[in-house]
Amino acid sequence: MSTETASKTIELIIVRQEDPDSKPFEEKFSIPYRSNMNVISALMEIRRNPVNADGEDTTPVAWDASCLEEVCGACSMVINGKPRQSCTALIDKLEQPIRLEPMSTFPVMRDLTVDRSRMFDSLKRVKAWVPIDGTYDLGPGPRMPEAKRQWAYELSKCMSCGVCLQACPNVNDKSEFIGPAALSQVRLFNAHPTGAMHKAERLQTIMDGDGGLANCGNSQNCVEACPKEIPLTTSIAALNRATTLQSFKNFFGSDNTA
């Protein structure tokens, strides 16, 4: 390591919170610079030596991480005002001081760790899975047309990171809106030949009551923020058409499983 590199430091401002009921506060850190660092490696350095910028001993910063390859979605946080994955946020490409905050859409558990149960509960609500019981081998199953398979694959890239919910102005503690991630999964599993068994039920879920499709304000922030570039607004537009057809079926008493 060169003398110049050794003398460089990384300045961070981290919004911290001791527990769900305590007030947030800011703490500054200054850590040694290394090439090719990401935000996670900076947090690991603080964990290794938990001393703040004033030279005071402190507690290690709590955060979530798993795959470190932008696959699991666990390390989502707000970095310099933008919700994103901290594993792919490279220090050299960030303006300093780097400000780290927890995603405000979700309840804070501690520091940068949040409870994403709201999002997972929404996925349960819309039955975001293929309904098979797994008791015996069903064989390869029906094939999807190639054109449908291609766009369905794009929707399947969702890693439930919560970034789209953080970016959406309609997802907040005063709204029951399930958000763009769950809506896109409705389109994905309704397109699956076996998943379509519950198509009408999924559509009815997002048509009924608070939190469904009607709560989308079409801000399109979600598609801009999505780290996997999933066409979330295209899915929402497709669901608008599908729910309109479903409402006609309901009115005229058609077979809802079609």
Count of beta carbons in the 10 Å neighbourhood of residue 23: 6
DSSP 142-184: PPPPHHHHHHHHHHTT-----HHHHH-TT-STT-----HHHHH
Report the CATH architecture of 117-252. Orthogonal Bundle (1.10)
Q: What does the alpha-carbon distance between residue 111 and residue 219 come to, in Å, rounded to a whole number?
A: 29
In the chain, domain spans: 3-114, 117-252
* b/e code 40-66 from CB counts within 10 Å (16+ = b): bbbbbbbeeeeeeeeeeeeeebbbbbe
Question: From first to last of its 258 residues, what are the pLDDT tens digits of the chain?
Answer: 444 555 699 999 999 999 999 999 999 999 999 999 999 999 999 999 999 999 999 999 999 999 999 999 999 999 999 999 999 999 999 999 999 999 999 999 999 999 999 999 999 999 999 887 777 787 777 888 999 999 999 999 999 999 999 999 999 988 999 999 999 999 999 999 989 999 999 999 999 878 999 999 999 999 999 999 999 999 999 999 999 999 999 988 865 444
Predicted structure pTM score: 0.89
Q: What does the alpha-carbon distance between residue 208 and residue 2 come to, in Å, rounded to a whole number?
A: 63
Q: What does the alpha-carbon distance between residue 230 and residue 236 come to, in Å, rounded to a whole number?
A: 12
Class of domain 3-114: alpha beta
